[in-house]
């Protein structure tokens, strides 16, 4: 890293920052692209089908259809870019970016490996170094911003289905954010801090010698609430009201085509990646490796990746298992089940902490 930095005439810190930026954003972006294939292939397998397996590089190398995202990308690039006649042109253009940017930004605070020291300099494997003061409030805040992409896309396309989708997603967002935040607050209390690195450090070691000391074993109720709310946040299937293909055509992205649509679709998968990374960090010990006291850097990154990809797969898995909720059922669940459950979780852990001291 030092040599590279001197080659580029910058300090190691700046070179490291740039490297991290490229790794994180390119990584999340390409993972999201691959996940479109995983989703299609996984759904096919679950339904006893085969899925896209024919796209081939140079017409020869098939690699079980992994070239499919590439082919899709090329197709999207060359499609005609239509803007509806009565749409609000500026906002119509802005919406895909409003959707994509928060989805990518949310990942910035998550440590994807343990920090290491090299050449007298400490390197952190997270875009925002620990102790930045924002901590885990940051992904919550960014998650709140994410709904604007959907809302703006819905409103600017001047289509009834779109507006219905946008309204549904905004109402769903408001009713789920509170339960999610309260579930996270209970975690802050256990870790005694709200920085992701503190939360991960608090999850090291073992619980009763048989289980890893992960938050899920301490707060299963909180995990269920958070997990459910993540589905509402990412607009994924049991709660995909913004899209609702079977009821409102394609919801907020009905009028979108070509590259703008692909950005909207990719932003959903980026969001999925961020959400699964958050779940891995908050409830499954982030980069901690179970039963290993001091994992090496590579091992910690690998552990984090495995956890994150597992949750990304769970998102796909659940999507092809559960049917969609009705809109009022979602509200019912959000306000009458999720909120009280997270309250109970919070109060119970506050009580336990007060007993402990």
Q: Which residues contact 79 (CB under 8 A, 6 or more apart)?
A: 257, 258, 259
Angle at CA 67, nearest 5°, toward 61 and 69? 175
Nearer to other proteins, 5 or 108 (CB): 108
Distance CA 70, CA 90 (A): 29
Which residues of this protein are in contact with other proteins, per CB under 8 A?
Answer: 42, 44-50, 88, 91, 132-135, 137-138, 140-145, 147-148, 151-152, 155, 163, 166-167, 170-171, 173-174, 177, 181, 188, 193-194, 224, 317-318, 320-322
Nearer to other proteins, 167 or 302 (CB): 167
Closest approach of other proteins to the CB of residue 325, in Å: 11
Distance CA 311, CA 83 (A): 36
Nearer to other proteins, 71 or 137 (CB): 137
Closest approach of other proteins to the CB of residue 137, in Å: 4
Angstrom distances, CA of residue 126 to CA of 187, 190, 195, 301, 317:
20, 22, 12, 11, 28
Q: Which residues contact 296 (CB under 8 A, 6 or more apart)?
A: none
Nearer to other proteins, 144 or 205 (CB): 144
Closest approach of other proteins to the CB of residue 223, in Å: 11
Q: Which residue has the tokens 């992205």?
A: 253
Asked if 141 contacts 100 with a C-beta cutoff of 8 angstroms, the reply is no
Closest approach of other proteins to the CB of residue 170, in Å: 5
Asked if 266 contacts 189 with a C-beta cutoff of 8 angstroms, the reply is no
Nearer to other proteins, 289 or 341 (CB): 341
Distance CA 133, CA 124 (A): 16
Nearer to other proteins, 155 or 269 (CB): 155
Closest approach of other proteins to the CB of residue 91, in Å: 7
Nearer to other proteins, 12 or 271 (CB): 271
Q: How crowded is the C-beta side of 108, counted as CA atoms within 13 Å?
A: 21
Closest approach of other proteins to the CB of residue 175, in Å: 10
Q: Which residues contact 41 (CB under 8 A, 6 or more apart)?
A: 51, 52, 53, 64, 65
Closest approach of other proteins to the CB of residue 140, in Å: 6
Angstrom distances, CA of residue 256 to CA of 101, 106, 218:
18, 24, 44
């Amino acid at each position: 890293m030092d040599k590279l930095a001197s080659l580029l005439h910058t300090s190691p810190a700046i070179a490291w920052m740039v490297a991290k930026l490229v790794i994180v954003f390119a990584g999340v972006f390409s993972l999201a692209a691959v996940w479109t294939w995983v989703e299609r292939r996984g759904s096919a397998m679950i339904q006893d089908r085969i899925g896209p397996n024919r796209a081939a590089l140079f017409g020869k190398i098939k690699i079980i259809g992994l070239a499919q995202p590439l082919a899709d990308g090329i197709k999207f690039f060359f499609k005609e870019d239509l803007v509806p006649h009565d749409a609000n042109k500026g906002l119509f253009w802005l919406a895909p970016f409003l959707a994509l940017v928060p989805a990518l930004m949310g990942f910035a605070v998550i440590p994807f490996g343990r920090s290491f020291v090299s050449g007298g300099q400490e390197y952190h494997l997270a875009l925002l170094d620990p102790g930045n003061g924002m901590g885990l409030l940051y992904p919550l805040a960014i998650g709140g911003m994410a709904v604007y992409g959907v809302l703006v896309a819905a409103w600017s396309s001047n289509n009834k289905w779109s507006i219905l989708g946008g309204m549904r997603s905004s109402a769903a967002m408001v009713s789920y954010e509170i339960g999610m935040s309260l579930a996270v607050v209970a975690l802050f209390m256990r870790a005694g801090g709200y920085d992701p690195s503190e939360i991960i450090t608090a999850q090291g070691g073992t619980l009763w010698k048989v289980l890893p000391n992960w938050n899920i074993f301490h707060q299963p109720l909180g995990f269920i609430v958070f997990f459910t709310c993540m589905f509402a946040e990412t607009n994924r299937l049991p709660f995909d009201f913004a899209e609702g293909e079977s009821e409102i055509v394609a919801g907020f992205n009905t009028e979108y085509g070509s590259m703008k649509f692909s950005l909207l679709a990719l932003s959903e998968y980026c969001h999925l990646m961020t959400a699964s990374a958050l779940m891995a960090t908050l409830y499954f010990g982030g980069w901690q490796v179970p039963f290993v006291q001091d994992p090496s850097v590579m091992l910690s990154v690998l552990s984090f990746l495995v956890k994150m990809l597992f949750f990304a797969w769970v998102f796909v898995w659940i999507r092809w298992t559960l049917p969609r909720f009705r809109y009022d059922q979602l509200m019912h669940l959000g306000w009458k089940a999720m909120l009280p459950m997270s309250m109970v979780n919070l109060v119970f852990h506050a009580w336990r902490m007060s007993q402990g001291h």
